[in-house]
Amino acid sequence: MSLITELASQAHSAARTLAVLDTERKNQVLLAMSAALRANVDSILTANEQDLNHARAAGLSDAMIDRLTLTPERVEAMAQGIDTIVKLDDPVGKRRELCVRPNGIRVSKLSVPLGVVCMIYEARPNVTADAGALCFKSGNAVILRGGKEALASSLAIADVLQQVLQLFKLPKALITVVPDPDRALMLELLQQRDYIDLVIPRGGEGLINFVSDNSKIPVIQHFKGVCHLYVDKAADVEKALNLLLNGKTQRTGVCNALEGLLVHKDIADTWLPIAAQALEDSGVRINADRRSAGYFNGANILEDQEFGQEYLRLEIAVKIVDSLDDAMEHIAQFGSHHTEVICSEDIQAAARFQHEVDASVVMANASSRFSDGGELGLGAEIGIATTKLHAYGPMGLESLTTEKYLVDGHGQIRE
């Protein structure tokens, strides 16, 4: 048996033990994990120093090195993240009654863990603790395959968590770090359909495409975030301005930042001059359709087919639309099913937009930047899905479970 098959099959067996652990016990283990991270901060930082030395020697970018760097505060944040997960509701074991059939059998559904979750990610060592704790609380074993840049740090964090597992007589294989970042081994991991139930890649579009194209296991896909703000004719001008600036400028390199602005023609004369000034003051580069270009200084003209770009920097696409329907049509064509926002005081317009726009998160009068697990109250987020199966949007503990049917009878047979 190869190393990868062995790791996967051990995780699969370990998952059975965890699936039946009660909430109180799981929380005790999680609290011991956060305490152990705090107690072992020195060994974690020592391992991280190794990763940083390699990263500096390899000439990695400052942004990459920043993502990789652990400090006592960042380890404390990881521990606090686990403490937060302790407080979340256990998603496993929830019974939902469906019906009692005419023959008297009682049919219900019971939420159960998925089994084994495989995380594939790049250079963020904190994913090891976050995903480890989220999967543990939801009753799943996890296999963590991080980038080689953070390997020593990930192994050190996993080692601390595994020591806690052993203290509680639980199998170490509940939290497994793949010790070799070789791509061939990742490919092998993606074939383990018998042992792994779900793959969650986190990283750039290249990584997600590679995993999707090569996996025999279902993959949570999260491609890109081309999010729009539609400023309706019935918009409150101040709210619209706040939502625009917050969505575009508060943080630009993230998937829930705004990339497109659609403005109803009836409000253009009132609102666009103010918005244009504010965007200019914030240093946002403007790409505009011919109709809206005149409101801006030095806008780049966008042709119809050029919309839909994910800029991830201080740059935005602007278009004037004739109606709510035209706005929704534009979003259907150029959106990425991530997050879409309407700003309107017209309750009916807002409701139509929310019901009809096909995106995982549809907001009325709130910033696109709220589109993540923490902000939406999930407590923590294991990933985000922009494909519609199983989960759609930010995924918390509930998305790490499914439901099985229970049937209770008193000897009924089928005629």
DSSP type of residue 397: G
Q: Contact at 8 Å (CB) between 232 and 344? A: yes
Q: Looking up tokens 């534009």, which residue turns up?
A: 330
Burial 126-142 (b: 16+ CB within 10 A, else e): bbbbbbbbbbbbbbbbb
How far apart, in whole angstroms, are the C-alpha atoms of residue 380 and residue 377?
8
Which amino acid belongs to residue 389?
L
Let me know: does 386 contact 221? Beta carbons within 8 Å.
yes
Tokens for 179?
């010790």
101 near a copy of itself (CB under 8 A): yes
The candidate with the shortest Cα–Cα distance to 301, out of 280, 286, 321, 312, is 286
Q: Which of 177, 243, 288, 317 binds a copy of itself (CB under 8 A)?
A: 243
> Is 323 an interacting residue with respect to a copy of itself (CB under 8 A)?
no
What span, in angstroms and rounded, lies between the C-alpha atoms of 316 and 287?
6
Is 370 one of the binding residues for a copy of itself (CB under 8 A)? yes
Tell me the C-alpha distance between 386 and 389, whole Å: 9
Of 21, 33, 20, 6, which Cα lies nearest the Cα of 166?
A: 33
Least separation in angstroms between residue 387's CB and a copy of itself is: 7
Q: Map the footprint of a copy of itself across residues 218-237, applying CB under 8 A.
A: 218, 236
Q: Please tell me whether residue 171 binds a copy of itself under the rule CB under 8 A.
A: no
Least distance (Å) from a copy of itself to the CB of residue 315? 20
| Least distance (Å) between residue 20 CB and a copy of itself | 5
**Applying CB under 8 A, does 336 fall inside the site for a copy of itself?**
no
Cβ proximity to a copy of itself: between 239 and 285 the closer is 239
User: Residue from 39, 105, 167, 301 that binds a copy of itself (CB under 8 A)?
Assistant: 105
Residue 132 or 394: which CB sits closer to a copy of itself? 394
| 246 lies in the site for a copy of itself, by CB under 8 A | yes
Output the smallest distance, CB 44 to a copy of itself, in A. Answer: 30
List residues near a copy of itself by CB under 8 A: 16, 19-20, 93, 98-99, 101, 105, 107, 110, 112, 114-115, 197-198, 212-213, 216, 218, 236, 238-239, 242-243, 245-246, 250, 332, 343, 350, 354-356, 358-367, 369-371, 375-377, 387-394, 402-414
